[in-house]
Structure 1
Amino acid sequence: MRILGVDNVLVGVADLDRAKEFYGGVLGLTEKFSTGEMALYAIGEETPGLLVRVQEAGPGSMRVWLEVPDARAAAAELGVEPFEVFTGWTVELSDPWGNVIGLTDYAKQPHLSRLATGEG
């Protein structure tokens, strides 16, 4: 499997409105987009962002998503199920300590991929 780079850092929250007040207001991060369940904030001039999302299981666990050329192929290689996201497909797995690593692609938004921009 080939890792192209960091996609996003995910932060679980209990209340999206309060999270927006903190990340957008207190920290002053620029919101790239939001839905009813998540908001993506720019981290400086970097392409990867800080993705704040409501987690029913409870807040407080960090996740790191890494871009791969094909998340469904990675899922098959790892023996886990992928799921669809706004930009393409993702698979998540936990390390031995419970930290979540996501492998995501840009199958639905290929122009945003590192492969399209020459970064991968």
Structure 2
Amino acid sequence: MPHELEILGFDNTLFPVGDLSEAVAFYERVGFPVKVRIDEAGIALLAAGKETPGLLLRAEDGFGHRPPAWPAARLWLEVPDARATADALRAADIELLDPPFSTSTGYVVEFADPWGNVIGFTDYLKRPELARS
């Protein structure tokens, strides 16, 4: 490697959406509060826990509804209990891609937004020492 790269952490994650108002309403149903919304720029920043970075939605002209591609990039976010989160998503009428599934550290549940962006909620119930406090 020609130079040393120091990665400090994640900044915002950007998802393209076809309609900003529809996307904000969808993600609010999931449980993401809006931090900043600038309609004239076609962007909304949603909070993801207590961290400063968040989920940035950007309206793209002509970007219609589509199913998620497989394989597709995924954003996984930590929750206390992914199976309980799956129940809450179902109660909010959010369609899950699959039932919660087991990993080596806990469980994961995934859903896609109307534009095919995939988010997973994962827990560390099998490895609590790795979980955020």
TM-score normalized with structure 1 length: 0.45
Give the strand-richer structure, 1 or 2: 1
TM-score normalized with structure 2 length: 0.41
Which of structures 1 and 2 has the larger relative contact order (alpha carbons within 8 angstroms, sep 6+)? 1
- Quick check: which has more Rg, 1 or 2? 2
